[in-house]
Structure 1
Amino acid sequence: MGMLRIGPEFGSEVWVGRERELSLTQTALTRLARGSGSVLRLVGEPGIGKTSLLAIIDQAAADCGYQVFHAVADQLSHQSPLSVLLACLGVRQRPDDPSRAEITQTLLGRAPAFPATGSTLAAVADMLVSLVDDLCAAGPTVLIVDDAHWMDEPSTVVWRRLASSAEHLPLLLVAAHRQDPSRPTHTPAGGGRGHEHLLSLTPLDDTEVSQLLTGLLGAPPGPTLSRWSGAAVGNPRYLHELADVLAREDLVQVVAGHADLRDDDDRIPPALTAALTSRLGLVPDAGDVLRTAALLGTEFTVTDLSVVLGRPVRALADVVQRAVAARILAGSGQRMTFCHPLIRQALHDAVALPLRRALHLDLARELAAAAAAPLTVARQLEAAGGVENRWVPDWLQRSAPALADADPALTVRLLHTQLGQLPTDDPHRAALSVALARALQLLGRWEEAADRAREALASSTGLDAHGELHWLLIRALNNSGKTDEAELILRQALTRPAAIPEPWRGRLLGTLALITRAGTGGPDEAEKLAAEALDAGRRCGDDCAIAGASVVLSLTHSDRRDHPAALRYAEQALTTLVGHPDHPELEMFALHCRVVSLQDMARWREADRVLRLSREIRRRAHDIAAGSIGVTEATLHYWVGRWDEALTALTPVPDDPCGPFYPGLHRGGPALLRRGVTALIAVRRDDRALAETHLHTGPEVPAGRSTDEDSEGFLLAARAVHAEQQGEPERGTALLATMLQHRPDTGTGPHHPWFADLIRMASACTDTSTVTATLDLARLWTEAEKTPGRAAAMRQRCVGLATEDPGPLRTAVQHYRSAGPRTELAATLEDLAVVLAGHGATDECRAAATEAIGLYSRMGATWDVRRTEARLRGRGVRRGVSGPRAPRPVSGWAALTATERRVAVLVAEGRSTSEIATTMLLTRRTVQTHISRALHKLGLQSRNQIAREVLRNAGAR
């Protein structure tokens, strides 16, 4: 395995400040040697070093002896579907290769021109995937695409198909994207699943800038050069251009071992300014236009430029086009941008500071009068260094909601400044205080939001502001973990009807109902309060109050196991909130209720689809409420077998046991759930270090608080399975047996998902009384369901396991296979295999065990695989075929194993590797191994040749 060779020959913009990216790249190349692939996405602005890093990866992979394929997309790529991947894989350049020739023939066989749509395009896409599979079968393969933001859509679809299976192949996919400034990337470097990494090439920091300039200038930068070199915004290309200008214009001297400007000034030196703006001479009469554009920012719209200059767009078109031709300006989506920030900085700094601030304020006023985007106006106000009290308060009052949604931090700064200048009796103060509290909450600054709401309440005289400020104060207190204080304030406020206007009374009643259920109160009181909130909301037509009350009613009906009613109320809340994008947290509460109700009704696939709706809601919520949906995601991902996604979903969930409650969870629930899910996955994967971290350390539930199944249950189950691992089934049984006190009429969350585990452990230590008690409780939970759902399926499994009757277990297996919870399907198949072993049904036993172990392997459940094999050995059954075996030929069709033959047949049917893996319940890597072995035994080179071999041996299957 070769190592990355990092050196100046690749460009210093890569090796300075790119240690983490290079380390991840090295890890990805190392994984290839072990047969595991990765996906790398390089994202960054132009000039940040993406192409140079691609060159390093290309060279390093080639040095390792890997197959490397490279392509560069461009603006014309969209006109030719699949053109990028065809070019990358050298389809047209390798007519001698049978697979590539077949692809070319398919393209030309239908029409002279490349087909844009239809079955041919789909067929070629499948053939490209098969070609990559063949390449991977031959050896580690690297696909690199530069400027992938121009990649055509069909190529993108195929790329995603390859990315979804790269982990199980010796395949490294690397794509470089230009970052779209209008959609900044929030995913950190190395984010995503274990084999997928986003390498966000960020600007160099001050230390790295200094290091790069030292290499370019021959000496470390001095204090003056260091002060304004930041105008290059850490972009290596800009810094290179800057160094070129400094050297060409002889603006730098080395004194006392440091390179610095000859003139000590805080601004860009005039000589350098002249050098940077020299290309302005290529655009005569453009000075005023470009200086005004510089005041608008590094990016601006031509419409805004037209407004502030008082000139129609058509009158500016020629100047803007010539500036683009001179590489002063460039298009960036719907906006214009300066090609070089230093040019913009030089134009900006050329205007004296007092005049510049006055101009910014003037621009802000003109843009506001023209109804420009609030964010555009706000940036001009901030650049002006202050606000004034003539038109700004009115504009802020109108624009604050939209501005807060676009940039809550800027909104907070402007509102703080404006409120600091307003007289105490100014009529705008109440509305601006409410807006400030809202913006602070969007930033998650709950303590400040609560303080601001309290201050505003003390001085507010308007009833509408009074009601909203109570609403904001309660939300801020709850989200900062001060639920008891929030409940006290709510009860006090609601005892004074005249103090809370009717439109807000319903919302506050609904919030009190939610807090009551999540705290020490029960479903009865919560349901009563929610009914009052629903009536109040309907009287005044307040959709938010109706939705909030519906959420609580969904939760209370779920407590009573009336899952259809709970689902109806959740859907009522979501329907009511359509057209109200300013309540994303409440939408996520309603989504949680809908997802959980669907799970309780065993409608798993529908629950999975519904959960995807949360992505748009979370975007509107600025990720502040991500934790509230994280607990929902985590549990669903766990049960459907996506354990890595479950751990990722729990990332934003706080560990604070006194933090905010989430829908469906009581106080302390989120912290225990994060701990419990992580521990259970770690135990089942036999990750002992991670398991120990979460099993015995971490936050405990506050005294006197109860939790539901999705928090306490996971941790108890993790500790019980861990005890089972240690050979202590008695201790595991005792831990899980504490769940037997939770009956369906207590209003606490269900614990029936863990009943079969309890029966397994109790049976292992011949604890018949616990087995009997568990069966009785399983019956009660099933009878409590208004319609048969999740509890009914679990009861079938429990009865079959306790009585060693394969019938109920077969029924449960069929249910789980059709419904979709992979984790419960695998466990039930394991139980069925063990029971069948006791009945002497060896063939069916082995089939069930093989399927269970395949599912466990896909989840990484190492311990479950070992436990399954141990339980079967205890009943005299080992996996595999016993008895003497006839010698198998080493080559030809007869050399193939039964599994390899079945894989070959599926390949001949045109199935992709992922489709074969799904059909056979194998990992993709295992399927690829079978394909590679089949190719070797048959003496073939491609999947397409396998089809002919299958037809030739059709009678020998």
Structure 2
Amino acid sequence: MRPLTEGTELLVGRDGELSRLVTWIRDVADGRGRAVLVDGEPGIGKSALVRSACAAAAEAGCQVYWGAGDELGQALPLLPLLDALEITPVTRDPRRDAISELLGGGAVAGKGADLAAAAAEQLIALVDELCQDEPAVLVVDELQWADRTTVAVWSRLARSVRQLPLLLVGVLRPVPRRDDLRSLFRIVGAGERLRLSRLAEPAVLELVAALAGGKPGAELARLADGAAGNPLYLTELVDALARSSRLEVDTAGVVELTGAATPDSLPEAIADRLGFLSESTLGVLRAAALLGVGFSVADLVTVTNSPLAALLPALDEARAAGVLVAAGDDLEFRHPLIRGALYDEMPTAVRIAWHQDAAWALAEAKAPVERVARQLLPMVSTTDSRVPVPAWAVQWLLEVAMALIGQAPVVAVALLRRAVRDTPLDDAVTGALACRLADAYYQLDNIAQAERIACRALDRVRDPDVRVDLHTTVVQCRGRTGRAAEYLAELKHALTRPGLQPRHRAKLLVLIARTHRYIGEMDAARRVATAALDELGPTEDRWATGWALHVLTQVAMSRGEWADALPLFDRAMAIVRGDPALIDLTLQLRINQSVTFGALDRYPDALAAAGQARELADRTGSIARLAQAQSALGRLLLAAGRWDDALAEVEVVPDDRKEPDVVCCDHGVAAIIHFHRGETAAARRHLDVAALYSQHIGDEVVEPLVRARSFAFEHAGAPERALAVLTSVPAGEVTGEDLLGDAARLAAAIGDVRAAAKIEARVGAIGAESAVPHRRALVLYCRGLLERDGTMLLRAADGYRDAGRPLSRAKALEAAAVAFAEARAEDRGSARAAFTHAIDLYSGLDAQWDVARLRALFRSFGIRSGPTVKHRKATRGWDSLTPTESRIAALVVEGLSNPQIAARLYLSPRTVGTHVSHILTKLEVHSRIDIAREAARHQSASG
């Protein structure tokens, strides 16, 4: 735990606010978490209030963690949280070491790696684990200066405080008020917001009396009234008067004012405090101001190039004067305004030169990337564009570029742009800088600028390695913007340049193969990818080999050659596994492998592969791939009949963090389940959300969404329109196997024999000689519907049973029951048996709409008996929990954290968090401790 800062200001006139904070601390000590925002103008006493409450929290046995935003460091992600949780280059704590290594670029340094997002995930998991040790208070002061990633983490923690014994506190000024900061007030709500106003007159006089050592006389009271109730101004004002011996206490204990001149503003009062320091101490403080409000003594030693013994007199004087205070093992300015006064008084040119010298000293000392970058940023943010990037900084940038791009792409763009501009035209250096600059823009999703820079660099760069890297960026950009075909000629021309080695040619061939795949030319993609592998021969190039195999897997999948794709996945994974530079490719391979296993009805393997992709994406912070992995899990769980789990998985990642096609897929999956369960309003809400995103996916067919839209018409009693939705995909044909089965069912239901025959022929072509159970079953199902052959439909149901697809099996049994019921009287026994089995399956899925529909249909056949349907009617209380939620609740009762539960159940912490949130809502309780109490009450009531 980081100790609280010494020198806490007097707290006067804040009894009500302090009482509320202390009450919330008692709540968190009892296991009930809360998120709180404390806001007010600078110097109004926000930090003093929260520090007083934190002292009470420490006495109550809570862990206390305190970090602060900094105006200089707001472009660098997560600094306040890293400081609060004591994550340093050498932490000697495995839970923190991993985060430190990650941000240093040692764990994931590949192209496209989002190190800040990865670290954010691990920070959230760390907070979860720390809260399992003891209740915790986590404060982020000066939140208005925090970077957006820190604010996003704060926001996620605020949404999960019901699951943790955590008091999360944000302290901020009214301005600047960014959009992401405004959203925090909506999350927290008015009940957990403390807005500190100026002190009332009685409190002002009480504070002045405490500071001055006696009751203020009339003149001192008048002067204090001009401080507008601001405690910091009052403190600085009284201290300035005391330093100049202008305060006298008379025999009655009244403090009188002598003399004339007094500071008439807070900046002037602070300047007065600094004016009493020696010049040598001011020099040390100016160097400290370069490092921020808080700083390590080790960094100060580095940037001043002075031994600690030489600095100690100045540091002692600054602490005695109330300028610096201790903050754990570090030091910090007593208030940001004091540090700001020192920093702003330096001329801009002097300040920038000092920053450059500090950056060089830190780089030489092998300081973390973000600390060096922080010192270089003022150089590129100045309006004086003549300030050049030093030669040493250019070399440093080249060495750390990938880690800096992954951690802070905005900072990387700022520094690389200036370095490209200032570096003499040197092919190797300039080309490499431009290449990294294009990568940084791509990371920021500025596709147009990334492509422009890469193309411009290609015009003058000759180094083949750099050229291939630039071509890769252009291909990625063109692929994202749907213009991949335009670049084929340029790539083919690049193959003709002299001096290319086999690995260069192989990489260019891979880019050509990927381009053919982008534009749907699968034969060419397969041919060129194979040529790339042949070009490599025995040459070891993991990037080219891995991507070539990836293209071959995609071609096989697009053609339905699922079994042929599996050995290609195995080869590719053996090549890319463990390579930090190929994390994104590894994720794509795992996700596609899970889809392939699912297409082959190998659901345990499919779920395992998707889970591995999810874990890797979560750990490395790849939100886009995490969303894809979660979406793949949702579709697999839908097909496998684990619908409650599917609903949880598809809502784990917020929609605004997903690609539009993934949003549409996820809401399609959810809508299908809700329609089957008779929850029409919920289903239509999902369709409405999907409609907002579907306009951004063009002609792409998202099968779950198509199925859900068709189902909406079927629910509304319009089967013809439902069939039209399924048959209106591009080229006028249904292409997906699940869509084909539904289309065949609807065509048979409305008596459209021509459509049914066409679908049956299409299915026959897909399933001919297939060894995959569900494909063989689909052929039997469509043929059985067309021929109204109950026996064939029962065989289809058996095939779906072997495939592990309960919904499809229930549909086949339903169709068989109808065929038998419409046939001969002697088949009524077969009809009843198939009907009963279908009802059992629908009931097991909690598909109450299907149960009701099927019962109504068979009443018309005179078949009224059937099993008593047991389904989950409760929406609140213990009986409303799904099987997965029940298992998770039991582990919560055991005291396990979300990460621990995730490891036990092979889920992700995010998924567990979603389930815990559902449990809290269903049990109508507010904390994990309440879950344990509710469990004991439930167990007692059930005997």
1:186 to 142, 152, 155: 152
Alignment deviations for residues 549-593 of structure 1 (CA, whole Å, 9 cap, x no partner): 111111122234332331222233333223432344333322232
Find out whether 1:791 has 2:783 as its counterpart. Answer: no
- Could you say which residue in structure 2 is the equivalent of 1:443? 444
Q: How does 1:399-798 map to 2 (within 5 A)?
A: 399-424=400-425, 428-494=429-495, 496-498=496-498, 502-522=502-522, 524-538=523-537, 540-612=539-611, 613-614=613-614, 616-617=616-617, 620=620, 623=623, 632=632, 635-636=635-636, 639=639, 640-641=642-643, 642-643=646-647, 645-646=649-650, 651=655, 685-687=679-681, 688=684, 691=687, 694=690, 698-699=694-695, 711-737=701-727, 751-768=736-753, 770-771=755-756, 774=759, 777-783=762-768, 785=770, 787-788=771-772, 790-792=774-776, 794=778
Q: How far apart are the structure 1 equivalents of 2:153 and 2:388?
A: 35
1:74 to 58, 62, 67: 62
Q: How far apart are the structure 2 equivalents of 1:352 and 1:790?
A: 75
Asked if 2 retains the 8 angstrom alpha-carbon contact of 1:581 and 1:620, the reply is no
CA 1:823–1:791: 2 relative to 1, 3 Å: same
Q: How far apart are the structure 1 equivalents of 2:711 and 2:376?
A: 60
What count of residue pairs does the alignment treat as equivalent?
A: 723
- What displacement does 1:43 show? 7.8
Alignment deviations for residues 740-761 of structure 1 (CA, whole Å, 9 cap, x no partner): 9999xxxxx9611234323432
CA 1:212–1:192: 2 relative to 1, 3 Å: closer
- What displacement does 1:536 show? 3.0
Q: How far apart are the structure 1 equivalents of 2:534 and 2:742?
A: 45
Find out whether 1:216 has 2:185 as its counterpart. Answer: no
- What displacement does 1:730 show? 2.9
- Could you say which residue in structure 1 is the equivalent of 2:253? none
- What displacement does 1:510 show? 1.8
Q: How far apart are the structure 2 equivalents of 1:605 and 1:52?
A: 54
Alignment deviations for residues 166-197 of structure 1 (CA, whole Å, 9 cap, x no partner): xxxxxxxxx96446989836358479999989
CA 1:844–1:441: 2 relative to 1, 3 Å: same
Asked if 1 retains the 8 angstrom alpha-carbon contact of 2:427 and 2:460, the reply is no
- Could you say which residue in structure 2 is the equivalent of 1:88? none
Q: How far apart are the structure 1 equivalents of 2:49 and 2:767?
A: 62
- What displacement does 1:364 show? 1.1
- In the alignment, residue 709 of structure 2 is paired with which amino acid? R
- Could you say which residue in structure 1 is the equivalent of 2:35? 42
Q: How far apart are the structure 2 equivalents of 1:192 and 1:789?
A: 47
Alignment deviations for residues 646-684 of structure 1 (CA, whole Å, 9 cap, x no partner): 36658358888xxxxxxxxxxxx7797578667756766
- Structure 2 SS opposite 1:184: helix
- What displacement does 1:782 show? 3.6
CA 1:426–1:799: 2 relative to 1, 3 Å: closer
- Structure 2 SS opposite 1:592: helix
- Structure 2 SS opposite 1:718: helix
- Structure 2 SS opposite 1:206: coil
Asked if 1 retains the 8 angstrom alpha-carbon contact of 2:624 and 2:658, the reply is no
Q: How does 1:884-923 map to 2 (within 5 A)?
A: none
- What displacement does 1:471 show? 1.9
- What displacement does 1:409 show? 1.0
- What displacement does 1:480 show? 3.2
- Cα RMSD after superposing both structures: 6.0
Alignment deviations for residues 442-488 of structure 1 (CA, whole Å, 9 cap, x no partner): 11111111111121112223333222222222222222333232334
- In the alignment, residue 791 of structure 1 is paired with which amino acid? R
With normalisation by structure 1, the TM-score equals 0.61
CA 1:313–1:453: 2 relative to 1, 3 Å: same
- Could you say which residue in structure 2 is the equivalent of 1:342? 337
- Could you say which residue in structure 2 is the equivalent of 1:244? 231
- Could you say which residue in structure 2 is the equivalent of 1:203? 172
- Could you say which residue in structure 2 is the equivalent of 1:84? none
- Could you say which residue in structure 2 is the equivalent of 1:164? none
- What displacement does 1:735 show? 4.0
Asked if 1 retains the 8 angstrom alpha-carbon contact of 2:668 and 2:708, the reply is yes
Alignment deviations for residues 620-650 of structure 1 (CA, whole Å, 9 cap, x no partner): 5765767766764664465453235436658
Asked if 2 retains the 8 angstrom alpha-carbon contact of 1:595 and 1:611, the reply is yes
Alignment deviations for residues 787-820 of structure 1 (CA, whole Å, 9 cap, x no partner): 525434655766787644585466356446xx5x
Q: How far apart are the structure 2 equivalents of 1:915 and 1:374?
A: 40
Alignment deviations for residues 296-353 of structure 1 (CA, whole Å, 9 cap, x no partner): 2245445433422445679989999999999955668x98766743343344345454
Runs of 5+ unmatched residues, structure 1 = 1-7, 16-21, 23-37, 57-69, 78-146, 160-174, 220-239, 253-260, 657-668, 744-748, 883-896, 930-939, 950-957
Q: How far apart are the structure 1 equivalents of 2:852 and 2:160?
A: 24
CA 1:632–1:414: 2 relative to 1, 3 Å: same
CA 1:517–1:867: 2 relative to 1, 3 Å: farther
- What displacement does 1:541 show? 2.2
Q: How does 1:79-90 map to 2 (within 5 A)?
A: none
Q: How far apart are the structure 2 equivalents of 1:241 and 1:616?
A: 54
Asked if 2 retains the 8 angstrom alpha-carbon contact of 1:293 and 1:305, the reply is yes
Q: How does 1:791-940 map to 2 (within 5 A)?
A: 791-792=775-776, 794=778, 803-805=789-791, 807-808=794-795, 811=798, 814-815=801-802, 819=804, 839=829, 849=839, 852-853=842-843, 855-856=845-846, 867=853, 870-871=856-857, 873-875=859-861, 876-877=863-864, 881=868
- What displacement does 1:393 show? 2.2
- What displacement does 1:11 show? 3.6
- Could you say which residue in structure 1 is the equivalent of 2:214? none
- Structure 1 SS opposite 2:580: coil
Alignment deviations for residues 213-261 of structure 1 (CA, whole Å, 9 cap, x no partner): 9931679xxxxxxxxxxxxxxxxxxxx9992122344599xxxxxxxx9
Q: How far apart are the structure 1 equivalents of 2:414 and 2:922?
A: 57
CA 1:772–1:388: 2 relative to 1, 3 Å: closer
Q: How does 1:346-385 map to 2 (within 5 A)?
A: 346-349=341-344, 351-384=346-379, 385=382
- In the alignment, residue 363 of structure 1 is paired with which amino acid? A
- In the alignment, residue 35 of structure 2 is paired with which amino acid? L
Alignment deviations for residues 596-632 of structure 1 (CA, whole Å, 9 cap, x no partner): 1121122334333333434544775765767766764
- What displacement does 1:9 show? 8.2
Find out whether 1:271 has 2:231 as its counterpart. Answer: no
- Structure 1 SS opposite 2:508: helix
- In the alignment, residue 460 of structure 1 is paired with which amino acid? V
CA 1:388–1:734: 2 relative to 1, 3 Å: closer
- Structure 1 SS opposite 2:717: coil
Q: How far apart are the structure 2 equivalents of 1:824 and 1:330?
A: 67
Percent same amino acid at aligned positions? 23
CA 1:424–1:149: 2 relative to 1, 3 Å: closer
Alignment deviations for residues 118-153 of structure 1 (CA, whole Å, 9 cap, x no partner): xxxxxxxxxxxxxxxxxxxxxxxxxxxxx9999895
Q: How far apart are the structure 2 equivalents of 1:275 and 1:927?
A: 58
- What displacement does 1:286 show? 7.4
Q: How far apart are the structure 2 equivalents of 1:620 and 1:242?
A: 48
- Structure 2 SS opposite 1:391: helix
- Could you say which residue in structure 2 is the equivalent of 1:662? none
- In the alignment, residue 712 of structure 2 is paired with which amino acid? H
CA 1:646–1:478: 2 relative to 1, 3 Å: same
